[in-house]
C-alpha cells in the first residue's frame, strides 16, 4: 500500500487542494470566453462601423443645424418680438382713444 502522505509528490494534494477542484470548470470558462469575447478583427470592424455611423450622424446634424439657423434668421427678420408687438398695440390703442375722444367732442 502506498503512503499518500510521504510519497515524493504528496497525493493528498491532488485530491484536497482547492486548485485541483477547478479542473472540470475550465471547459465552462473556455465556453464562456468563446461565447462572450470577440476577436480583435471583429472588434476593429465594429469600431470602424461605429465611426462611420458617427460621421454620418454628424453630417446630418450639421445640415439640420444649418437649416434651423436659416429658419431662425428668417423669423428674426420677418417677425416681431413680443415687446415690439405690445408697444405697437398700445400705440394703436392710444390712437383709437384719441380718435374716439375727437369724434365724441365733435358730436356734442
Q: What percent of the chain has pLDDT over 90?
A: 46
Least confidently predicted of 8-12, 49-53, 79-83 = 8-12
How many separate domains does the chain show?
2
Q: What percent of the chain has pLDDT over 70?
A: 73
Q: What is the pLDDT of residues 67-77, one digit of tens each?
A: 999 999 999 88
- Residue-range definition of the domain harbouring residue 87: 38-107
Q: How many other CB atoms are there within 10 angstroms of residue 11's CB atom?
A: 14
Question: Are 44 and 26 found together in one domain?
Answer: no
What is the pLDDT of the chain when averaged over all its residues? Answer: 82
Question: Are 42 and 82 found together in one domain?
Answer: yes
- CA torsion through residues 28, 31, 36, 37, sign: positive
* Cα–Cα distance for residue pair 65/69, rounded to 1 Å: 6
Question: Are 42 and 79 found together in one domain?
Answer: yes
* Cα–Cα distance for residue pair 80/42, rounded to 1 Å: 56
Global pTM reads 0.45
Give the mean model confidence (pLDDT) for residues 5-17: 58
Question: Are 48 and 19 found together in one domain?
Answer: no
Amino acid at each position: 500500500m502506498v503512503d499518500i502522505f510521504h510519497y515524493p509528490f504528496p497525493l493528498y494534494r491532488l485530491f484536497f487542494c482547492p486548485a485541483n477542484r477547478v479542473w472540470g470548470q475550465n471547459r465552462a470558462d473556455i465556453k464562456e470566453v468563446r461565447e462572450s469575447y470577440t476577436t480583435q478583427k471583429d472588434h476593429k470592424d465594429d469600431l470602424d462601423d461605429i465611426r462611420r455611423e458617427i460621421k454620418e450622424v454628424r453630417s446630418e446634424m450639421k445640415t439640420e443645424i444649418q437649416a434651423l439657423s436659416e429658419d431662425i434668421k428668417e423669423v428674426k427678420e420677418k417677425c416681431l418680438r413680443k415687446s415690439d408687438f405690445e408697444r405697437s398695440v398700445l400705440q394703436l390703442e392710444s390712437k383709437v382713444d384719441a380718435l374716439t375722444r375727437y369724434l365724441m367732442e365733435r358730436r356734442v
